[in-house]
Structures are given as structure tokens and as C-alpha cells.
Amino acid sequence: MADEQMLQNLEKITAQFGNCFAENSFAKPLFIGDILNAFEENKEVTAAGRLVAKREHGKSGFAHITDHTGKIQFYAQLNTLGDTYQLYKWLDIGDIVGIKGKLFITRTGEKTILVDSLKLLSKALLPLPEKWHGLKDVEIRYRQRYVDMIANPEVRDVFIKRTRIVSMVRNFFERENYLEVETPMLHIIPGGASGSAFKTHHNANDMDVYMRIAPELYLKRLLVGGLERVYEINRSFRNEGTSTRHNPEFTMMEAYCAYKDFNYMMDVCERLFAEIAQKLYGTLVIEYQGQKLDLTPPWPRISFAGLFKDEFGIEDSDNQDMVIEKIGKKLTLKQGLSRSQILKITEEIIERKFPTDKPAFITDYFTWTSPLAKQKKDNPHIVERFELFVAGMEVANAYSELNDPIEQRKRLENQLKVEEELPKKIDEDFLTALLHGMPPAAGLGIGIDRLVMLMLNQPSIRDVILFPLLKQAVE
């Protein structure tokens, strides 16, 4: 419901000055930040933005407007504005206004616009939350991100910087001669990762389809088709719970390069992360949640198989049942051992045994945990794969891609036996593609949301997603 006092002001303004929503455009040649940066007294300027502060002194008043680049004060006078000064008096905090005037500096040293023209461009009919200058209510912040960005300019800055980071990722891969592509978001058979898929129905074809859990299998088809370097900044979906590190809808970057292996992708990660930090902060030492992170390459390599041998006495050749049995002797586990459980155990061991002031590549994963990765030449029980951990959080996953169609079928058939979340189907078209021959290749997936969390020192994934999925509000 609209605010009663603001509705009354709407009626008064409409009666005297016309429709409060009539303006279709407003000539705004500069952002507020541009005006402040190129400030010159007596210069004529035009500005527009949201009214965020206002005070009157009889026949004059000071106010502030803001846009995404900054905030500026303006000074309104009855002598200068004439009848339009009444419009200024009826304005509410939150209204969108356009102003024109000359720049000057007040006695307190503040850069200000002396207004000679004032227009109401859009009327706000709901007040900002109480104490909005320091809005802290997490529920309001996530549900009403538009209010959050008005109340907390630093939040708006996070999302502006997120866009910059995505652009940096895109520019990096374009310089490396990768081709940006788009692959389907609706899959007949979900694959390319473990996870529970969202299911829907396509009415025209009368068939069930799934929101993708990963674009991997389609991107590999492109390698078969002769596109040797491809990447996609993609939206993917997992029908799973939420946490500070998980959202059911998330953004990933996946890249595939023919004739390279997972060692090459380690180099890509080191160079990409270092480049982003350097461009954002001018240094390779950044802070995440009170801890210094040194992104200077090279980063440590830690053997997953070695960790599990030291911790649980597990050998490379142990099958999944033997691994569960040995872990079960030290830990209380429910029946089965999912990838997420293995990941959690790995995270706990890393945090306990290794310093987290540098990123670390966890390598040497068991073959049975990685159905799409190529085995090591000298050890069929281990695959050429790494997961990148930064500040105790998995941020990237990569491997030398399995391109043997016969071995791939065996792995996928075995995966169906143990994975409860995936439909009991194999993507036959993907296997058909491999039968046509896929070159040796390396693949890399980076969680963009987690990358942004790290680079911008944000504690939760919800702080870097504009509109995170939340439970329905209780009426």
C-alpha cells in the first residue's frame, strides 16, 4: 500500500504541476561522479537522481540526490525558482528529480549545485525503511535488493564491481583466443556434473526436460565439431539447499581447450585470478574475511589421494565400498558417500592441515569420483584433475578430459548405479559425438559467484547475487 502522506503530496503536485510520471526522458549528459570529478565553479550542469536528503530553511533549502556514481548537494531558493519552489517543498525522500544550475562551494566546503530549474521525474509512493541510511535487516536487504542498494551504496558498488569482474573473465579468455558460445539451458538428460536437476515439461513436444546442472557435455560436442577453444559464462541450476556458499541458481564459467591438459588449466587459474586482483586493487595480496590471501603464483599442489591415505589408510586401488568402510571406521557416516560428502571431508582436512593464506590445487582424485576425467598414464586409479580451494572454499574444478568413448560409457554406466540424484539415462548423443573423435583436451569450471565473493570480500553468496532465491515470505 502506498504511503498516505506521499499520496497527498502526489495529489498536490499533480494539481499544481501536472502528472508526476509524465516525463519520458531527461537530458542527463553527465553522471554525478563526472560532475564532481570535473568540478568547476559557476559551470552550468545538469544532473538527475534520487532525493536522499532534504532540509528547508524558510525560503530556501538544501538537498542531496544520488545516482550509481555518487551523491551531490543542491541548493533551492524561492528567489531563483519562483513558483517551482513549492514543488521542492512537496518533494519526498525517494523521489527522482532532474535539476539544472551552476556549481559553487558552500561555506562548509561542500560542492553544490545552485538550482535554477527543477523537475519531478518520478514520484516515490513508499518511504524508505526506517533508519535506511544503515539498513541492516538481512531479510529486507535480500528480498528488496532495490532498497538495499539505495540504503547501502557499498552494496551497489559490489554489483558494479561484479560486472567488472565478469568482463575481466571474458576479456581474459578472448585474449587467449577462446570463442564465447551459448549452449542449451533445457536438457533432455541432465549431465556434466553431479546434482539434483529441476524438472519441467515442454508442452508442444509433450516431454519432460531439465534445467541444466552444467554445460559440459555440450561444450565437449563443440570440441568434436572443430571449435578448439570455447567458453561459456552460464547460468546453471541445482535443485538443492541454500547456504552461504550455495544458491540453486548460480553462474559458472566453463572453458575447454583442445590439445592441453589439466596442468595448463592450473596456469590459466593462476594468471586469471592474479590479473583480476591486480586490476581491482593493484596488488596480489587481498583480504578475505579478516585473512590475507596471497595470490602470487605458483600455488601449492596437494594430493587428494595422499590426504586420504594419511587420514584413513586408503589406497589408490581401493574401490568405493572399501573407501566408505575405511572412512566409516573413523567417521560416522550415513549409508553411501556422495561427492558432496567427500568434498566436505576434503575441506575439513585441508583447513586442519594446511595454511589457507594461499590458494591450493587439490590433485590426484580417485577415478571412481570423476567419471568425465582422464586417468593418469602411470596409475589407472587416479585421474588428472584438480579442484581449486581458496580460503577453504572450492572455487574451480578442472581435468584432462576423457575422450575414450568406450571407457566413457563404462564410467557413465557405473555412475548411474551409485548416483541417486540423476535420471537413470545415459546421454547417447554425447557418446555418439565421442565416437566421431574428440581431441585431447582440458576443461575448467569456475564458480563466478564464489570468485566474486573472494575478490570483493563478501561473506555470503547472497551478497553477490542480486536476487537470491529465498523462502516465500510469511504474510
Bigger pLDDT: 96 or 317? Answer: 96
In a domain? residue 135: no
299 and 338 both lie in a single domain: yes
Residue 269 is part of a domain; what is its CATH number? 3.30.930.10
In a domain, residue 474? The reply is no
* pLDDT tens profile 228-268: 999 999 999 999 888 889 999 999 999 999 999 999 999 99
- Cell 532525493 belongs to 51
In a domain, 134, yes or no: no
Say yes or no: 174 and 278 in one domain: yes
Residue 190 sits in the same domain as residue 95? no
What is the arithmetic mean of pLDDT over 399-414?
95
Domain region containing 89: 4-127
**Cα–Cα distances in angstroms (integers) from residue 79 to residues 53, 63, 76, 345, in the given order:** 21, 17, 9, 72
Tell me the pLDDT band of 136, cut-offs 50, 70 and 90: low
Report whether pLDDT(71) > 80.
yes
C-alpha dihedral over 307, 310, 315, 319, to 10 degrees?
A: -60
- Contact between 48 and 96 (Cβ < 8 Å): yes
Q: Are 180 and 85 members of one domain?
A: no
Taking a C-beta distance cutoff of 8 angstroms, is the pair 78, 60 a contact?
yes
Residue 143 in domain? no
Please report which confidence band the pLDDT of residue 101 belongs to, taking 50, 70 and 90 as the band edges.
very high
Question: Of 301, 438, 426, 309, which is closest to residue 371 (Cα–Cα)?
Answer: 426
Number of domain units in the chain: 2
Regarding whether 304 and 220 lie in a shared domain, the answer is yes
- Residue of 409 and 349 predicted with greater confidence: 409
Q: Of 65, 93, 127, which one is at a domain's C-terminal end?
A: 127
Q: Which three cell numbers stand for residue 107?
A: 561555506
114 and 173 housed in the same domain = no
Domain boundary among 91, 112, 127: 127
Contact (Cβ atoms closer than 8 angstroms) between residue 94 and residue 129: no
Q: Cα 149–157–284 angle (5° rounding)?
A: 150
User: Does any domain span residue 469?
Assistant: no
176 and 38 share one domain = no
Per-residue pLDDT band for 341 (boundaries 50, 70, 90) equals confident
Is the domain of 163 the same as that of 123? no
> Do 120 and 180 share a domain, yes or no?
no
**Distance of alpha carbon 227 from alpha carbon 258, whole angstroms:** 8
Q: How confident is the model at residue 24, as a pLDDT?
A: 92
Are both 80 and 228 inside the same structural domain?
no
Give the predicted TM-score (pTM) of the model.
0.91
Residue 304 lies inside a defined structural domain of this protein: yes
Domain boundary among 96, 127, 158: 127
- Mean pLDDT, rounded, for 149-161: 92
117 shares its domain with 181: no
- Which grid cell is 385? 584433475
pLDDT in tens, 188-238: 998 888 888 999 999 999 999 999 999 999 999 999 999 999 999 999 999
pLDDT at 253: 98
Residue 36 neighbours by CB under 8 Å, 6+ apart: 70, 72, 111
User: Beta-strand (E) ranges in 57-167?
Assistant: 60-67, 70-77, 96-105, 111-122
The yes-or-no verdict on residue 161 having pLDDT over 60 is yes
For the chain, what percent of residues have pLDDT higher than 70?
A: 95
Read off the pLDDT band of 177 (50, 70, 90).
very high
CATH of the domain at 77: 2.40.50.140
User: Does any domain span residue 446?
Assistant: yes
Looking at residue 241, what is its pLDDT? 87
103 with 239, same domain: the answer is no
The stretch 268-294 carries a mean pLDDT of 97
pLDDT at 131 over 70: no
For strands 360-366 and 301-303, give the pairing.
parallel
To the nearest whole percent, how much of the chain has pLDDT over 90? 74
Whether 69 maps to a domain, the answer reads yes
DSSP string covering 259-315, please? T--HHHHHHHHHHHHHHHHHHHHSSSEEEETTEEEE-PSPPPEEEHHHHHHHHH---
